[in-house]
Structure formats: structure tokens, C-alpha cells
Structure 1
């Protein structure tokens, strides 16, 4: 038999207190019976009865577990690859403090929301790189998120094709799942227009594979200047570059893959909607194990104790009222 609890100082105190007062009660009962000239032997039936259900209460409190049964433990989750645009325009500050810093904060919220799922990070501009492979280690993932900056990738334009192709390859090659159910998700985050040529064909493959693709745009229609290490970014004519959110490409990809487009701008933040949408997707069975477990059978002892209390109340002793 296995016990989920143990007799501590508090339980021991109440047991001793019960014993002390009940011994005192027995002494007074015997003395009263002798004074009345009656027998006091029958009262001991009640003493045994009450001691029994008090002991049963203690046993139930300790949570006895016995008997063996098997229980199937299933590991269910999703695979989520997040592709983050790290082009220089993500340093624009129309979404304070900057678009990138805001995204980094929201990514930590997404990681927290899907703590039982595997999440990976891809950073891109016109090229894509795996920042963090699919992992359950949320501490490491948050560390990678914190280190994201626009100096990590070449800044020669924005191309959605490479990160989508990389996410598709990585998420499709995974061999850990044990069912064919699809619960693989790609989140593409950017603020600008797609200048790639292969995005449409990759999006078609994503749709055919049954992988969910969601896009998240960040920025405002008014836009802002872009801060660099040398001051504000300028064009060839020496004028300050103003970066504005261009959601057309993001909406087009989401529509082509039966996904959804979400946005962070000056007046709305759809990250909570994105989290809820992903949360509604059924997880995938990764592993299944059968374990031998013991069940807590406290209710047997509690039920018997309650039955004895009922008998105690129902049985009357004529010799001495107790």
C-alpha cells in the first residue's frame, strides 16, 4: 500500500487530543454508571465504534493507494516555426519602441502560450537562417528571441520565399510524430513587400502539404524613419527613408494557403487573436506510453467511517446516555 500523505505533527496532535478527551469521557461514564448502580459494559461498544471511525478518518486523510491499473499517457502538441523579418525597416519606431522590439516582446507571449509545443525560429531578409531549431526548451528560445537584431542578416531587400522554403523543409522532415495528423504551423512576420519570385510556388506547396500558414504584419500606414547606427537611413538622393507597413504580400500569401492575416499597428494588436486561432488547432500525437499506476482509495475508508457514524447515531444505549 502506498500513502500519499503522512502523519505529521498536526495530525499527531489531534490524535493525542482525541485520546486524552475520550479517556476522560470513559472515566466519567464509568463513574456515573457506578453511581446509578447500573452496568457500564455496554458503553464500551460505543467506545470501540467511535474509535473505529476516527481511525478510518485518519486513514482516509493519509490517502491510501493500492491495487494496480494501467494508464495510457499521450504526448500531444504542435510544431510551430516562426519566421521573423530582420530587414532594416524593422528598426522603424512607428510601433514603439521599435517594430522589432515590439515583436520580440510579443514572441515571448506566444512562447508562453504554447509552452507544451515545439517552437523554432527562422530569421530572414532576402536570405533565411535557422536561429533556433524546433525545441521544447522555452528558456533557450527566449534567449534566442532576445538576441534578435537587424545586424544578423544581410539587408539587401525582403524575400518571403527563402524562410517559407526553409520552414517547410524543416517541419516536413520531422520524424518524431507517430500519426499522420497535421498540426504543423508557420508564422511569417514582416512589415514590408515581398520582392521574391518563388513565394507563390512555395505557398502552393505549403497548401498542398496541409501546413497552416499565418502572417503577421507590423507597422502603420503613416510609417516612420528608420534608425541605423549612423543616424536615419537615407536614399540615394540623401532624403530620409520613411518605412510604411505594406500588408498586400502578407495578405496574399495568407489567402493563397487558406491561412489568416493578423496585424499590429497603432490602434490594434492581433497577437491574442493569433494565439487563439493556433490554440484551436488540434495537437498531434507524438508519443504514447502505458504506465502502471496505483489509485488513491481514500473514499473506501471515508464511506465506511460515515456509515459507522450513522450507526453510532442510530444505536441507543439505555443504561447510560452517551
Structure 2
């Protein structure tokens, strides 16, 4: 569809009509002054003319002038070709990933996918890095928690920055304790202004809550009321006892209150399987825009008339040169 950005400039086409109604411009020419003018005319047989004449252009000069004027008016209206509407939709999840950085995550009992024993935190970071690279369409944020919970990165599609922040995270960076409830609280606060209908929290931990100011079960209730789904992922050996024991019962309650599911990841293969399951979660539409491509056309009339004028100038110059040389040869 053709539209004009400044259509009122089209009124300029009336300018020639207005100018036509104004008095004709007279161009002065050299005249001969003679006291006996009447006798001079009688002797020479000449016909007297006005001392000023109207210079009348040839037909092609008038046509070129009119085309130039119309092209400038057309360019001034700034014509734009507007294409068909194109719907752009973004779908995916808004996901927060909370990573336990308590002292127990330093235990070197996590078997990666190559069968090598590594620290729990290193195994988690390695597979989480791979998981993030598969999150096309999702917006992901990062939470670190130990004695307290901190927002490392808000939800974003900038996975390069997320990967860099994840690489810099290490054990005890947020303290040696495990504040599960506070980590859930940070996620809830960050999701508060989200318009997504699919808000997910991945809660990676290898222990039980020890230092939260906000009890994890209460935090889960709070999250569930706000449409946040929590997937707790237990890292390490579930048979551990004492302070290193994983409170699977509490993690299961957290998941059930929010419509999520608890997973156990004893090694790299199990954690990779968990991520694959999470990949199959239904994505939701969180942004939709309609755009109409626009193509500026104002330069086409300018280009056309510029080329036409250059051709006319070339023609006049060539003809003048030809007649000049012809006159010189005849002389």
C-alpha cells in the first residue's frame, strides 16, 4: 500500500497555476537610442519592437521544467510503500535458576558424563552451561545462594553474560549455609512484575535448609499462589545422613505446592536426563508484536529527474559545441 508521510506538500502542484496568474516577467535587452527614430525606421524598413521581451523556452525545456517540479513535489511528500502486516511472536519460559553454593557442594563425588569424579558445583556448572545453550526462546535469570540468596542476573536472553556469571560462581561465595527458602523468595520477588504465564524456578541443591529467614515450605506456598512452578533438583548422594543429607521430603513438598516435580541427580547422566525432561515443558507466548515493513520511495523521483536533467545538459552542451565548430569551419 502506497502512503505519503507529508501529503500536504502535494498542494505545491498548484504553484504553477498561481504563478501563471501573476504578471509576466520581462527581461531587458540592449536597445539603440536615436533622436530621429521615425526617420530611421522609414529608411531601414524595420518594424519597431518593445524594449523588453519574454524569453520563451522550447517545448522540451518546458516539459523538463514541469517534470523537475513535479518530481520535487512528489519527493517532498515522502512516499512510502507499506508492506503486509507481519506478526512477530516470542514464546518460551521465564526461568530462574537457583544454584546452591554451600560448602557441601565442594564434595568431589559427582560423576560427570565422562565417568570422572568432579566437585558437585563443577558438574552442575558444566551441565547447566550446556542446558542454557538449548534455551532458545526462553529468558533465564540466575540466583546464587548459600547463607543468603542473591540475584546474580535478572531474566535475560543474553546467554553469553549468563555463562560468564555462571563460570565465576564458586563454593562458599554466598556463605557456607543453605538458604533454600530465601532463594525461592528472591525468585518470587523477581517474577513479581513478569507478564509471562509460564514462570519456572530450577532449584539445584545438595542439602537441606539451614539458614533461611523465610521457611522453604512457606516460600513455596507463596510462589505457588503466584503461578511459579518450582522444580527442585537434588544433587549428590541421596543416602547421605547427618548435615549432608538431602531433605527429599521437603523438596517434594516444595514441588507439589507449585505444580512442579522433584528430581534426583546423582551423576552427570542423571542431571542431563533432568534437563532433557525440562526441555519438553510447554512453552508459552510472552510477547507478540505486529510490524508492517516500510520502504522509502522518495529518492526514486529525485534520481529520475537528476538523470533526466544530466542527459538534457549533455545534449545542449553537445549541440552547442557542434554548432560552434561548424561555424568556425564555415568561417
Band the TM-score falls in, shorter-chain normalisation:
0.5 to 0.7
The number of equivalent residue pairs is: 207
1:210 aligns with 2:230: no
C-alpha distance in 2 between matches for 1:202 and 1:193? 15
Which structure 1 residue ranges, 5 or more long, are not aligned?
1-65, 225-240, 295-322
Match of 1:289 in 2: 290
Select 1:171's aligned residue among 167, 176, 191.
191
User: 2:182: which partner in 1?
Assistant: 162
1:182 is aligned to 2:172: no
Runs of 4+ in 1 over 6 A off after TM superposition: none
Go from structure 1 to structure 2 and tell me whether the alpha carbon gap of 1:120 and 1:89 turns closer, same or farther (over 3 Å shift).
same
Cα distance in structure 2, aligned partners of 1:249 and 1:204: 12
Find out whether 1:192 has 2:207 as its counterpart.
yes
Is residue 70 from structure 1 mapped to residue 111 from structure 2 by the alignment?
no
Alignment counterpart, residue 87 of structure 1, candidates 97, 102, 117: 102
Which position in structure 2 is the counterpart of 1:153?
Answer: 174
2:123 aligned to 68, 80, 102, which one? 102
2:12 equivalent in structure 1: none
Deviates more, 1:281-290 or 1:164-173: 281-290
Taking structure 2 as the reference length, what is the TM-score of the superposition? 0.57
Partner residue in 1 for 2:270: 269
Task: Provide, for residues 195-241 of structure 1, a one-character-per-residue CA deviation record: whole Å limited to 9, x for no partner.
Answer: 345222211111111111111111014559xxxxxxxxxxxxxxxx9
Pairwise CA distance, 1:129: 0.7
Structure with higher Rg: it is 2
Offset of 1:166 from its aligned partner?
0.6
Structure 2 residue matching 1:121: 3-state secondary structure: strand
Of the two structures, which has the highest relative contact order with CA contacts closer than 8 Å and spacing of 6 or more?
1
Question: Shift of the alpha carbon at 1:282?
Answer: 2.4
Aligned-partner Cα distance in 2 for 1:72–1:110: 29
What are structure 2's unaligned runs of at least 5 residues? 1-80, 111-116, 296-331
Normalising to structure 1: TM-score of the pair? 0.58
In 2, Cα distance between equivalents of 1:90 and 1:123: 13
Provide the C-alpha distance between the structure 2 equivalents of 1:293 and 1:77, rounded to a whole number of angstroms.
29
